[in-house]
Amino acid sequence: MTTARPTALVTGASAGIGAAFAELLAQEGHDLILVARRAERLNELAERLTKQHGATCTVLTADLTDPGAPDELMASIRERGLTVDVLINNAGMSGSSAFADTPWSELAGEIQLMITAVTQLAHLVVPDMLARGHGRIINLSSLAAFAPPGESLLYTGIKTYVLGMSQALDMELKPHGVHVTALCPGFTHSEFHDVMGTREAASHLPSIMWQRPEAVAREGWTAVNRGKPVCVPGMFNKVASHAMRPVPFRAQYVLGRNLNPFKN
């Protein structure tokens, strides 16, 4: 059932960039499905967005490191008669301990949260989007996808996967009205560095390197609507990403689409 207002599913809506996306999409006339682990935060946000923007908000708590979570979420969404017009695949974090010292359960959780759940949620919502001939998916990658890999961290590799997967998905789906964008922020004011335990080091970085989550969400939303498969928000980050990568994204995308010898 399609409601009059389109519905956006935002993962990691309890803080930072996800909460900013929820606010922006509510302002722009969407109903919301808000997902994260902290129910209280989500309920407060839902109440505020309903009051301020008239958005109908559904709160679904889930731990996306749980391999069963994406299917359970979709089952709850379908039970409520909701369809997803916009997917913001945002929930994420970075571990900071050395690879060899980190229990496998933690590493597997990072992969599940930021690779498998991201991919599976897209896979779950795409068939309905294709049937309607319209959909928008934003996957949170990172400026880290363009940076030299950090020693012992899975994060760079994970966000590089998200970047590549989003571009491939966009190539496949855009002709059918479904746009996919890899949103690649640099340092963004949020709880990310508190969770990672790097707040002290991050606080010494110059302010030119930082963006507000609202600005990141706004630029990502504009990019996906304009059909841009990659969005690096903010002038500092754009310059940094170009400096770190000699072939521009646009040229890579066009080359990738046109020179693939395995294309059907």
Ligand X SMILES: NC(=O)c1ccc[n+]([C@@H]2O[C@H](COP(=O)([O-])OP(=O)(O)OC[C@H]3O[C@@H](n4cnc5c(N)ncnc54)[C@H](OP(=O)(O)O)[C@@H]3O)[C@@H](O)[C@H]2O)c1
Q: Which two tokens stand for residue 64?
A: 């996306």
Minimum gap (Å) between residue 131 Cβ and ligand X = 28
Site mask for ligand X (CB under 6 A), range 39-78, x = bound: --x--------------------xxxx-------------
The residue from 21, 146, 155, 249 that is catalytic is: 155
Contact status: 12 vs ligand X (CB under 6 A): yes
Cα 116 → chain centroid: 13
Report the DSSP beta bridge partners of residue 9. 33, 87
Stretch that binds ligand X, among 30-38, 48-56, 165-173, 234-242 (CB under 6 A): 30-38
Site mask for ligand X (CB under 6 A), range 137-176, x = bound: ---x-x----------------------------------
Contact status: 185 vs ligand X (CB under 6 A): yes
CB neighbour class for 19 (10 Å; exposed up to 12, middle 13-18, buried from 19): buried
Minimum gap (Å) between residue 15 Cβ and ligand X = 4
Contact status: 181 vs ligand X (CB under 6 A): no
Contact criterion met (CB below 8 Å) for 119 and 165: yes
DSSP string, 12-45: TTTSHHHHHHHHHHHHTT-EEEEEES-HHHHHHH
Contact criterion met (CB below 8 Å) for 237 and 184: yes
Contact status: 37 vs ligand X (CB under 6 A): yes
155 is annotated as an active-site residue: yes
When binding is defined by CB under 6 A, the residue of 111, 168, 195, 215 that contacts ligand X is 195
Distance CA 19, CA 66 (A): 22
When binding is defined by CB under 6 A, the residue of 21, 161, 187, 249 that contacts ligand X is 187
Stretch that binds ligand X, among 21-29, 130-138, 187-195, 233-241 (CB under 6 A): 187-195
For residue 66, the 8-state DSSP code is S
CB neighbour class for 130 (10 Å; exposed up to 12, middle 13-18, buried from 19): middle
Stretch that binds ligand X, among 8-16, 76-84, 98-106, 119-127 (CB under 6 A): 8-16
Task: Give the residue numbers annotated as catalytic, written as ranges.
Answer: 155
